C-alpha cells in the first residue's frame, strides 16, 4: 500500500468484494395476485384519467385527421365504461405468469369481442374518427403490450420447483 490515501490500492487480493444480492424466488400465485391487484388499479387509472388526457392530446394535436364530437352528451358513462373495461383487462394480467403473454392474447381478444357484443349498437352509431373513439381504441389496445412487459418482469424471478 502506498503512503497516499487517495491512490487506489495496487493489489486486488486485499479488496473486499461486495456481496452479490440474491433474487428471492416468488411463487406464481403470489406474482399473479400482485399483477391482478396492480393491473386492476392501473387499468382503472389509465382507463379514466389516461383516457381523458389522451382525448385532450388527440384533440389538440391530431384534430385535422380526426374530429371532435359535436356533443359530448353523456360522456361520463363512456369514461366509466372504458375505466371498467381497462380494469378488467388489468385483472386478467394475473394469468400471464401461467400462460405467458402469448396466452394472454386470446383472453384480450375475447374481452374485446365481449365489449363489441355488449355495445354493438353504440359502435354502429358512432363516428370512428372522433377523438374519444380513437382514444378508446388506443386504451383498449394497451393490455397486450403491457402483458409483454409483464412477462419480461415475471421471467426475472427464478421458478420455485415445487410451487410452479
Q: Encode the chain (164 residues) as per-residue pLDDT tens digits.
A: 556 767 666 665 555 666 677 667 778 888 899 999 999 999 999 999 999 999 889 888 887 888 877 776 677 788 898 999 999 999 999 999 999 999 999 999 999 999 999 988 988 888 888 888 899 999 999 999 999 999 998 888 766 665 54
The DSSP secondary-structure symbol of 22 reads P
Q: How far is residue 48 CA from its own chain's centroid?
A: 14
Query: What pTM value is reported for the model?
Result: 0.75
E strand or H helix that includes residue 134: helix 131-141
For 2-39, b where at least 16 C-beta lie within 10 A, e where not — what string?
eeeeeeeeeeeeeeeeeeeeeeeebebeebbeebbeeb
Contact 146, 91 (CB under 8 A): no
Q: Which phi and psi (to 5°) does residue 67 adopt? A: -135, 155
What pLDDT sits at residue 75? 78
Domain ranges within the chain, ordered by starting residue: 28-156
What pLDDT sits at residue 14? 57
What pLDDT sits at residue 73? 64
Amino acid at each position: 500500500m502506498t503512503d497516499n490515501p487517495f491512490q487506489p490500492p495496487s493489489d486486488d487480493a486485499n479488496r473486499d468484494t461486495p456481496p452479490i444480492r440474491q433474487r428471492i424466488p416468488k411463487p406464481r400465485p403470489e406474482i399473479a395476485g400482485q399483477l391482478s391487484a396492480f393491473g386492476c388499479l392501473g387499468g382503472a387509472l389509465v382507463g379514466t384519467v389516461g383516457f381523458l388526457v389522451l382525448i385532450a392530446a388527440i384533440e389538440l394535436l391530431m384534430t385535422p385527421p380526426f374530429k371532435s364530437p359535436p356533443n359530448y352528451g353523456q360522456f361520463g358513462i363512456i369514461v366509466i365504461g372504458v375505466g371498467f373495461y381497462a380494469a378488467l383487462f388489468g385483472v386478467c394480467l394475473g394469468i400471464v405468469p401461467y400462460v405467458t403473454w402469448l396466452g394472454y392474447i386470446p383472453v384480450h381478444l375475447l374481452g374485446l369481442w365481449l365489449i363489441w357484443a355488449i355495445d354493438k349498437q353504440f359502435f354502429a352509431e358512432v363516428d370512428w374518427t372522433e377523438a374519444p373513439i380513437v382514444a378508446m381504441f388506443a386504451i383498449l389496445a394497451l393490455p397486450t403490450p403491457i402483458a409483454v412487459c409483464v412477462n419480461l418482469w415475471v421471467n426475472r424471478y427464478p421458478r420455485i420447483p415445487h410451487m410452479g
